[in-house]
Structure 1
Amino acid sequence: MTTSHTETSLSAREELVLQMRAWRKRRRIAFVVQVVTIIAALALAAPAAALLLGQFTGMRDDYVPQRHVPGTDGSITITSADSYVLIRHEAELPPCTITDAEGYELLQEPWRYASDPPTVGTSFYAEPGRYQVACEGGQDGVVALNRVQYINSLRGPWDPRKPALPLFGAALLIYFAGRWSAGRIAPESLRPLYPA
């Protein structure tokens, strides 16, 4: 009777030791998963923070993109083929004509961005080259801006199409997925209990 009781308690003790070893192994794996996901989340959050902070500026919206300001003779030089907008920030844009070096007038379309107050101007496509801008009443305050860059500057730093917010979202997703995974690998309900 005594020997069988000792064998039973010994096998129960060995089983408990094996369960504790398995539990500790699961806890180590869960810890590694959590550390790796925290490092991955920080690796995404750091450049996201740098990108987001880099988008804050005290400059006026029309100073952020590349500016093409007509000189005293009304000429501007476009360096890359793209769509541009012609605006006057301080006042309403007067009727303007844009001609290339050969004297051909560029087609302009009315352009409006729904900001507060709304930004109104004209949109045109230009190839690299020199152009003449002539506006009724002069070109004072008139500027040509790359349309895509200008729209991005008007949207501000919190635009979800900018890379900072998706990176922050991915960092949060990875962080919480790591915490959830670690909890599933070694939940407290699987911790072996010592007999009283």
Structure 2
Amino acid sequence: MLMANNMFPAVLAGIFLAAILAASMSTADSQLLVTAASISEDIYNQYINKKATDKQKLKVVRLAVILIAVLSVGIAFDPNSSVFGLVANAWAGLGAAFGPVVLLSVFWKRMNSFGAMAGMVGGAAVVLMWNVLEKTFVQVQIFQLYELLPAFIVSFILIVIVSSVTKEPSKEMLVTFEEVAVAAKN
């Protein structure tokens, strides 16, 4: 802000700062709405109330928007959190939850939805636990390791174990797997 005021006349600095604010707001509101809609459709409608009406789903979206906004403001005012730290944690969570699932779904046809779910939940949980352990046991050297690595390993192992002890994917799914593999080679 100081740089804009020093480099540009007041009117141009105002326009420049308004453009930055508009870009930030359009990104933030889109992320807020997508997250709230995902909570409504992917969690509430799939697992809590499969026969939810549009009116009920709209209430869930509105409540989710409020909760996510309050949580975001709380994180923003936390003096101990930095953008870099938040992004590093987010990437660790995403990488641990989805990385092994993507890799194994491409290279191992035995993987099933139960294994994928176990790996996603387990990987994300290890990231969260690792952050708590890192802050609790500051002197323990192993917890200085970036949380993505242990979480990725745990997720990978969970996918293999759970997929191995639950039922195999359907024949139809295996045929689709083979068709995609052949198409990818060509």
TM range (shorter): under 0.3
**Greater strand percent: which structure?**
1
The normalised TM-score by structure 2 is 0.25
**Greater helix percent: which structure?**
2
Larger RCO, structures 1/2 (Cα 8 Å, 6+ apart): 1
From the CA coordinates, give the structure whose radius of gyration is larger: 1
The normalised TM-score by structure 1 is 0.24
